[in-house]
Amino acid sequence: MASIFTKIVQGDIPCYKIAESEKYFAFLDINPLQKGHTLVIPKREVDYIYDLEEEELAGLHVFAQRVAKAIEQAIPCNRIGVAVIGLEVPHAHIHLIPIQSMQDMNFTNPKLLLESSEMDLIAQSIRSNMAK
Ligand code: AMP
């Protein structure tokens, strides 16, 4: 069965989309640790990130760099924290999280509950900062 992220890529499940290329896709995490918390995935469904082909893994990180630069512009922060967990959704993904301090990317912290209108605005703001 297709992963929930494949369904997002195919448009069968809605998301707050940030960016898309031929092979990669980025969208807001639905249960964000911080405003602007974004997931970057390969469109090809592979569970474990280190099972990706070398070239695909490299491409995923380069795509994530473009997205991170746009998040930095949209959300005031010290850094974009990068994490790979992958215990919940079996489709490789990189978490990009705008942080002020290390505590901001503690995955055991309570998640933010944001209105969909705010998620829309955040996504729009990050999208508008994506380099063409
Ligand atoms: P993990 O697999 O442990 O890296 O966690 C998966 C992440 O995907 C969690 O942070 C979830 O909040 C996020 N997530 C799960 N379903 C969705 C969805 N439909 N849209 C956006 N993010 C999701």
The CATH number assigned to the domain holding 67 equals 3.30.428.10
- 17: which residues sit within 8 A by CB, 6+ positions away? 25, 26, 27, 123, 127
Question: Residue 93 catalytic?
Answer: yes
Tell me the pTM: 0.98
d(CA 120, CA 4): 20
Range of the domain at 110: 4-128
d(CA 33, CA 7): 23
Around ligand 1, the residues with Cβ closer than 6 Å are 4, 13, 15, 29-31, 39, 85-89
Distance 92 CA to ligand 1 centre (A): 11
Residue 21 confidence class, pLDDT cut points 50, 70, 90 = very high
pLDDT, tens only, 39-79: 999 999 999 999 999 999 999 999 999 999 999 999 999 99
Total number of domains in the chain: 1
d(CA 30, CA 48): 21
d(CA 117, CA 37): 16
d(CA 82, CA 15): 20
d(CA 24, CA 2): 16
pLDDT tops 80 at residue 3: yes
pLDDT, tens only, 100-114: 999 999 999 999 999
Best of 13, 34, 89 to mutate for ligand 1, by most ligand atoms within 8 A of CB? 89
